[in-house]
Amino acid sequence: MGHVDHGKTTLLDAIRKSNLTTKEHGGITQHIGAYQVEYQGKQVTFIDTPGHAAFARMRARGAQVTDVVVLVVAANDGVKPQTSEALSHIRASKVPFLIAINKIDLPEANIDRVKGQLAEEKVVVESYGGDVTSVEVSAKTGKNINELLEMIILIAEMQDLSADPKGKLEAVVIETRSDKSRGPLVSLIVKNGTLTKGAEIEVDGQKVKVKALTDANGSPIEAVKPGMPVEVLGFKQLPPVGSVIGGEQNKAPLPQEEVRPAKLQLTKKEAAEEETQAVTEEEEEKQTIKIVLKADVSGTLEAITSNLSEEVEIVGSGIGEVNESDILLALATGAMVYAFNTEISNSAKKLAELENIQIKAYNIIYKLFEDLEKRVLKILEPTIDEEVVGSAQIIAEFTIQGKRIAGCQVKTGEIQKSLPVHIKRGEEIVADAVVKSLKRGKEDITSAKAKSECGIVLKPDRDFKIGDTIVSYKKIQEEEMVSK
């Protein structure tokens, strides 16, 4: 990943050429989007996608296909906007990464300047006392290419990854294309299990029988081992990039030779630890507001950033117009996009509408802060933008024609049909719903006032208990809430 013209493709080509066994495992091609090399007896698969946009799409669909990211920065050009964007996507994905400082052969190369600029992006390399690995390379001369491969393998080994070639099939779509003669062609990487010709797989509800498998050289193969990139023939429709494929147990027989894992996964113990950590992180995420922030100039961006409360988490920021990459980052991280005094590209607007990503645009700075303050207050006190209309205690439960009815005694105010409600158990809100219908005996009513009894049908059906309290409320207008 990295800025345009910083030598990503040239570096990939240099890695291929420096590896004598590459031809046996595949090389860079125009279509497959990935290739594999062998170094020090280990297989390394490189994904040559269109960049962080595709990376974000994979992340947004829940596909964690990469184990390590190589961020390429040109020694003569330094950190550029797409470098910063790539860093935002890397951080959001929580994937280990290292820096490849490329083009060190050029007379205008300034490695120290690059490391200093990276430090400004909060990426401190090891030679500057940090913990981020950097390798100074020249894709043109081939200098330090082997050192780069060694560091990639080292970082991968530190993750203690593993895969089971005989286990359940899991693969990720990394590229798709339509061929005039052969139809839909899908490039993917197998993460676990083994994909064989003739196997039946399923992705996004589409059932596919694998008609043919082709490696990166265009040669037909019978089976695909973990970590190996392959192009699959047999799809009727092209699945989205990042789709995860889970197949039935392969019906075609597996090859008799030993299948060695290459692209690896977490051990069961680490997977359990990661799941526990994910739950903890999810709980923490409920207490933060994630935003992608774009501004017209760096001074304004800095002013906004430095005045945000700790409940606001900036997952990405930059100068200039809001683009598709910003929308994809917001999609991948569950964030909103905030734009101050800057344009929003038409393609970004269309993508945001398609992916249901909210863009908030401002040209008065205190309006931006007011909006964020309102959202922070909503996190700290979830009911702050609500006005209680009435409350009722559940004293009985009935089921009529398959519908659960809460028999209630109205305690305060009134319960109104069609209004939203919280179901509270003690002081804790355990569920939210809407009053679908109200009944007094067999009679349908629109409201029930204090000291009266009624039957309440909720939509959707909720697991309430006798003793719970139903709180009916209305939303307060945004302007009124901010003034409070």
DSSP 175-238: EEEEETTTEEEEEEEEEES-EETT-EEEETTEEEE--EEE-TTS-EESEE-TT-EEEEE--SSP
User: What gap in Å lies between CA 35 and CA 16, rounded to an integer?
Assistant: 9
Per-residue pLDDT, 222: 94
State the Cα–Cα distance between residues 469 and 388, nearest whole angstrom.
13
Domains of the chain by residue range: 8-158, 170-247, 287-380, 386-480
For 258-284, b where at least 16 C-beta lie within 10 A, e where not — what string? ebebbbbbbeeeeeeeeeeeeeeeeee
The answer to whether the predicted template modeling score (pTM) of the entire model surpasses 0.75 is: no
Q: Which residues contact 235 (CB under 8 A, 6 or more apart)?
A: 183, 184, 185, 186, 206, 208
Please give the pLDDT value at position 103.
95
User: 8-158: which CATH number, 3.40.50.300, 2.40.128.630, 3.40.50.20, 3.40.710.10?
Assistant: 3.40.50.300
- Interstrand relation of 403-416 and 386-400 (parallel, antiparallel or unpaired): antiparallel
Which uninterrupted H or E stretch holds 390? Answer: strand 386-400
pLDDT for 28 equals 34
One-letter amino acid at 252 equals A
pLDDT score at 263 = 36
d(CA 270, CA 265): 10
Question: Which of 283, 261, 282 minimizes the C-alpha distance to 162?
Answer: 261
The class (CATH top level) of 386-480 is: mainly beta
As assigned by CATH, the class of the 287-380 domain is: alpha beta
Q: What pLDDT is attached to residue 475?
A: 82
On whether the CB atoms of residues 355 and 372 are closer than 8 A, the answer is no
Question: Which pair of structure tokens corresponds to residue 442?
Answer: 């067999």
pLDDT in tens, the chain (484 residues): 888 788 888 888 888 775 533 443 333 334 567 778 888 888 888 886 555 566 666 666 655 778 899 999 999 999 988 888 888 888 888 889 999 999 999 999 999 999 999 999 999 999 999 999 999 999 999 999 999 999 999 998 888 778 889 988 989 888 888 888 888 888 888 988 999 999 999 887 788 899 999 887 778 999 998 888 899 999 988 888 788 887 544 444 444 443 333 333 444 444 445 444 544 444 444 578 899 999 988 778 888 988 888 889 998 888 889 998 899 888 888 899 999 999 999 999 999 998 889 999 999 888 898 888 888 877 766 666 688 899 999 999 988 777 889 999 999 999 999 899 999 998 888 888 999 999 898 889 999 999 999 999 998 888 899 999 999 998 876 544 433 3
Same CATH fold, 287-380 and 8-158?
yes
Tokens 């009985």 belong to residue: 396
pLDDT number for residue 100: 96
Q: What's the N-to-C CA distance of the chain in angstroms?
A: 46
**How far is the C-alpha of 44 from the C-alpha of 18, rounded, in Å?**
14
- At residue 49, the pLDDT reads 57
Q: Answer yes or no: are the C-beta atoms of 264 and 163 closer than 8 Å.
A: yes
CATH of 170-247, one of 3.40.50.850, 3.10.20.30, 2.40.30.10, 2.60.120.650: 2.40.30.10
